[in-house]
Amino acid sequence: MDKRLPMLTIIVPCFNEEEVLPETIKQLTGLMNELCEEKLIGKHSRILFVDDGSTDRTWMMIAMESVRNQFVTGIKLARNVGHQKALLAGYLKAREKCDCAISIDADLQDDVGVIKEFMKNYHEGYEIVYGVRKRRDTDSFFKRTTAQGFYRMMKKLGIDLVYNHADFRLLSKRALDELARYPENNLFLRGILPLLGFRSTKVFYDRKERLAGKTKYPLRKMISFALDGLTSFSVRPIRFITILGIILFSVSILLGSFTIFNHAIFGLNGTVLSLWVLGSLQLIALGTVGEYIGKIFIEVKNRPKYAVEIDLFTKSMVERLDRKMDESYFLKYKS
């Protein structure tokens, strides 16, 4: 290995990406060759595909490509654990053999060409480089509006997020080592990384349309992701409930006094309405508290976040080539 050049690992989480994977491999392989030619990375750099329990041919395609492409390697998780945990698995595996790591989604909506700018910033001494979208023109009106509302809400709650940044970023070895010290199960990497405190910068780019396949983040997962981010980094929702309770208590005293003097106005209908309002608020309060208690329950058990079924990353190219004639290896993990 050329000690003057950093060893890069590009981490690509995958879940049922067989439609887009050939083009992803093609573009990233071409990029790695260019980066090597321009002396931005060492020749032993790798593309690490993390198969997050796919049920299609994704893993077979990764495994077969690993025996003919010097850059491609991968790990297969034993089951689907979700994008954030699969990404963390890639980070923790990459830190064993790299000087820096770049994460990018398999759908190629993030601009692959921007990775050159990432590496140039790394050579200038930046430990974290965030890929930030210039605009959200490719999103639907609903997704664009809700995403912008989410970032504004998080900012008001005092949570430090990089606006319009997803999971397209570079982390140095030192940043990866520090990230490994965060043991929490309720992962929200976009909130954790700004806490590391290392020297960081941003690279702006235009996001593209998805080449093929379907999004792995439908509305249900987007809401769950937003709740994880909110409850993992702020207790202000709990404080808001306390403040709301104080306000409602004050209002109830005023209304109670008014009812005593004017019972004719606030009869049965007023009573029923107040029961509905207060009952709804109580359910909201219990749900919010329950969300935090549920997260405490998960953290206290401290179960492993994922299990690696197959690890090609730690294998040398020679060891991978030895599998070339073993067709049963690929057939066994076809699905």
Query: Could you read off the pLDDT of 241-258 as tens digits, one per residue?
Result: 767 777 766 676 666 666
Q: Is the pLDDT of residue 67 over 50?
A: yes
- List the Cα angle 291/296/299 in 5-degree steps: 125
Q: What is the pLDDT of residue 323?
A: 53
Do strands 72-77 and 128-133 pair parallel, antiparallel, or not at all (unpaired)? Answer: unpaired
Are 243 and 297 within 8 A, CB to CB? no
Q: Is the pLDDT of residue 135 over 50?
A: yes
CA–CA gap between residue 51 and residue 76 (Å, rounded) = 5
3-state helix, strand, coil in the chain (%, to 5): 50, 15, 35
CA–CA gap between residue 157 and residue 93 (Å, rounded) = 33
Question: The domain 8-218+305-332: what is its CATH number?
Answer: 3.90.550.10
CA–CA gap between residue 5 and residue 99 (Å, rounded) = 9
pLDDT-based confidence at 273, cuts 50/70/90?
low
What integer is the mean pLDDT of 198-210?
Answer: 87
pTM: 0.74
CA nearest 150: which of 228, 85, 213? 228
Q: Is the pLDDT of residue 299 over 90?
A: no
Q: Is 213 exposed, middle or buried (0-12, 13-18, 19+ CB in 10 A)?
A: middle
pLDDT-based confidence at 218, cuts 50/70/90?
low
Quote the mean pLDDT of the chain: 80
Per-residue pLDDT tens digits for 2-29 = 457 999 999 999 999 999 999 999 999 9
The separation between CA 180 and the C-alpha centre of its own chain, rounded to angstroms, equals: 15
Q: What is the pLDDT of residue 189?
A: 85
Strand (E) positions, 33-127? 46-51, 72-77, 100-103
CA–CA gap between residue 102 and residue 294 (Å, rounded) = 32
Number of other residues whose CB lies within 10 A of the CB of residue 121 = 20
Q: What is the pLDDT of residue 60?
A: 92
Are 32 and 45 within 8 A, CB to CB? yes
* 207 token code pair: 């996001």
User: Is the pLDDT higher at 193 or at 51?
Assistant: 51
Q: What is the pLDDT of residue 333?
A: 45
What contacts 135, CB < 8 A, 6 or more positions away?
206
Q: What is the pLDDT of residue 1?
A: 41
Q: What is the amino acid identity at position 62? A: I
What integer is the mean pLDDT of 94-113?
Answer: 92
